[in-house]
Amino acid sequence: MSFTNLKLIDPLLRALDELGYDEPTPVQRQSIPPVLAGRDLMAAAQTGTGKTAGFALPLLQRLTMEGAVGPLGVRCLVLAPTRELAEQVYESFRRYGAHVPLRFGLAYGGVPIEPQIGKLKKGLDVLVATPGRLRDLQRQGALSLGQLQTLVLDEADRMLDLGFAADLDAVFAALPAQRQTLLFSATFPEAIRKLAAELLRDPVSVQASPANAAAKTVRQSVITTDKKSKPDLFLHLLRKQRWGQVLVFAKTRKGVDQLVGTLQEAGIRADAIHGDKPQPARLRALARFKASDVQVLVATDVAARGLDIVGLPLVVNHDLPTVAEDYVHRIGRTGRAGASGEAISLVCADEVELLRAIETVIRQVLPRSEEPGFEAEHRVPATGTAAQAAKPAQKSKRPWTPPPADANAPRPAGGFAQPKAERAVPRKPAPATKPVPKGAVFVAAGRGAKSAAKASLAAKKKVGPKR
């Protein structure tokens, strides 16, 4: 199948031809027809599957064929969780829409808001925005959603993970009731399903790839070590394996900066992307990495879903993510669009539960190894099927066998499940009781009564006759 079979207009087909796109991906084949027809859509699609073109191409066609936008208005609103992803989606709309007369805008925080307000004064056909900056524009009266025709939620699960629920609720309250809504998400937890039920009307469901599944073209593995050895191990592997460009994920902003400092001290060209970096600095770091001016780019999960790097061969998890689903998005930066890639995770003992959660999500136990000289002093416990195999087998319980019909038959030792030949040794008869001597205390009571009786008798002996 070609893009021509999807009934796209000539200006879009010309742009795709210039970009070298020959055949639509599965998510594009499934998404473009219903979006062109004006249907709501709920799509499960991993990063690198071409999902942006799956909604951008049909929306560009509808916007070109249907009406125009007025001042302060927006006809199509695309919400993205991070600045990097917003940039990526915005550039995709610009490339696909190179030959159609539409206006595009981009709005996110960390940069001055005035230029964004200036663009909105004339109205925009497509606005790509992060939820926080969109709310800022609404509060300043720079934006009207009354003309909105289509709302797109890209990476909806990540928006909820990053705490945008309140901003999203405020945006949804300002939307017109009659609209088209497209929801794209890599994972579908209960919160996303509830959101879809509230926003979508009779949606078409698209399953481009199994939920939480890593790309089959990515080779995944684990190297166990101690936490303190991770920076040196990474530097050792970088030199020994002669890695080219590497995208590395660390858990915290401080951890990112420390690793970058270690690499730079060793003469490695490295840069960082995290939430404390101003947006211009983040964009420069990404541009330098794409241009191969930087060999190692270290990032936190804030950038996990916005980095589109063509031909990236390797992703390294210096630290495992605290949210298991983020592992899929991290390693999705490599092995994109059918290319091969590799993902290596450096794992220490206190991350074993995170590793177990990841393996549960991706439904596989990752192969693990050790690097000579960096073996873990604190061993990483086995997970998954390996852990189950290491457990000692439980002793099977002896099945219960009902008693014989003859109630007077002797009971075999250990229960009726034993052979009749294994009879119990008869108990010795109890010795004959001697007559109780006069004045003795006979106790026929519960625990402690005997001691109480002795104490009472002793007290009586001490008391003499009354005078």
**What local confidence, expressed as pLDDT, does residue 214 receive?**
60
Q: Which has the closest alpha carbon to 199: 79, 106, 302, 51?
A: 79
Indicate if the pLDDT at residue 444 is higher than 70: no
Relative to beta strand 296-299, strand 270-273 is: parallel
- At 402 the pLDDT is 46
Burial 150-172 (b: 16+ CB within 10 A, else e): bbbbbbbbbbbbbebeebbeebe
Per-residue b or e along 313-351, where b marks 16 or more CB atoms closer than 10 Å to that residue's CB: bbbbbbbbbebbbbbbbbbbbbbbeeeebbbbbbbbeeb
DSSP codes, 400-418? P-PPPS-TTSPPBTT-TTS
DSSP conformational letter for 73: B
Q: What is the pLDDT of residues 322-368, one digit of tens each?
A: 888 788 888 888 876 667 889 999 999 999 999 999 998 888 999 99
Q: At 443, list the tokens.
A: 């106790």
Return d(Cα 365, Cα 355) in angstroms, integer. 9
> What radius of gyration, in Å, describes the C-alpha atoms of the chain?
35
In the chain, where the domains are located: 3-207, 218-383
| pLDDT for position 303 | 59
Evaluate whether 3-207 and 218-383 have a shared fold: yes
**pLDDT of 254-313, one tens digit each?**
999 999 999 999 999 999 988 788 878 888 888 899 889 999 999 988 655 566 677 788
CA distances 281 to 109, 110, 251, 359, Å, are 13, 10, 20, 35
What is the average pLDDT across 108-119?
92
By the 8 A CB rule, do 157 and 81 touch? no
Q: What is the pTM of this model?
A: 0.61
Helix intervals (H) in 37-105: 51-65, 83-96
CA distance 228 to 206: 44
Partnered with residue 88 across adjacent β-strands are none
String of b and e for 382-410 (b: at least 16 CB within 10 Å)?
A: bbeeeeeeeeeeeeeeeeeeeeeeeeeee
Closest listed residue to residue 171, CA positions, set 106, 74, 39: 74
Question: What band does 457 get if pLDDT is binned at 50, 70 and 90?
Answer: low
- Rounded CA gap, 64 and 6, in Å? 16
- The CATH fold assigned to 218-383 is Rossmann fold (3.40.50)
CATH of 3-207, one of 3.40.190.10, 3.40.50.300, 3.80.10.10, 3.40.50.2300: 3.40.50.300
Residue 372, C-beta contacts closer than 8 angstroms, at least 6 positions apart: none
* Three-state secondary-structure class, residue 461: helix
The pLDDT score that the predictor gives to residue 361 is: 85
Given this model, what pLDDT does residue 15 score? Answer: 95
Question: What residues does 150 pair with on adjacent strands?
Answer: 76, 180
Asked if 42 and 206 touch (Cβ cutoff 8 Å), the reply is yes
Q: Which of 43, 88, 449, 149 is nearest to 282 (CA)?
A: 88
Q: First-to-last CA distance in the chain? A: 124
pLDDT at 236 over 50: yes
The torsion of the CA quartet 407, 413, 419, 420, rounded to 10 degrees, works out to: -50
Q: Which amino acid is at 421?
A: A
What would the mean pLDDT of 236-246 be, rounded to a whole number?
94
Residue 348 DSSP SS3: coil
Q: What pLDDT is recorded for position 248?
A: 95
Report the Cα 152 to chain-centroid distance in Å: 21
Burial pattern 12-49, b for ≥16 Cβ within 10 A else e, equals bbebbeeeebeebbebbbbbbebbbeebbbbbbbbbbb
pLDDT of residue 212: 54
